[in-house]
Structure formats: C-alpha cells, structure tokens
Amino acid sequence: MIHWVLVYIMIQGKDVYAVNAMGPGTTFQDINSCFMMREEVLKHSGSTDGYFPPGKQAICVKVKE
C-alpha cells in the first residue's frame, strides 16, 4: 500500500535535519491530504511571502507500507 510522509527539512549552518513533520510513523493515504497539511506547516513556518523561509522546506514523499 502506498502512503505519503510530510518531511520537514531544516538547514542550520552546514548541517541538514529532516523529520516527519507530523510525528513519528504518521502518514497520509493520499497526496492531496499531504499537500493540504504542507500548506498548514507553511503557515506556521514564519512565511511572509507564501514560500518557506531560507533553510526550511517541506515535501511529500511517497512510501510503501
């Protein structure tokens, strides 16, 4: 079965960190649900122009369960 994970990426200096934005083990059954939650994460990221701030990004990644 295919699911989607919302991965939040942060870059601090030369270090890159990536986590499941919704918490360990949380997935979405379809990409539309993942994209909708990505928009919510964007709203809370400090964005002022509709884009993630420098050094931050969130992506939906397809995974097999």
What per-residue confidence (pLDDT) applies to 12? 96
Alpha-helical (H) ranges within the chain are 31-43
Q: Kindly report, residue by residue over 8-61, the tens digit of the pLDDT.
A: 999 999 999 999 999 999 999 999 999 999 999 999 998 889 999 999 999 999
Instruction: Report CA 30 to chain centroid distance, whole Å.
Output: 14
Q: What's the pTM value of the predicted model, to 2 decimals?
A: 0.92
Q: Is the pLDDT of residue 65 over 80?
A: no
CB atoms within 10 A of CB 39: 10
Residue 26 DSSP one-character state = -
Residue spans per domain, the chain:
2-64
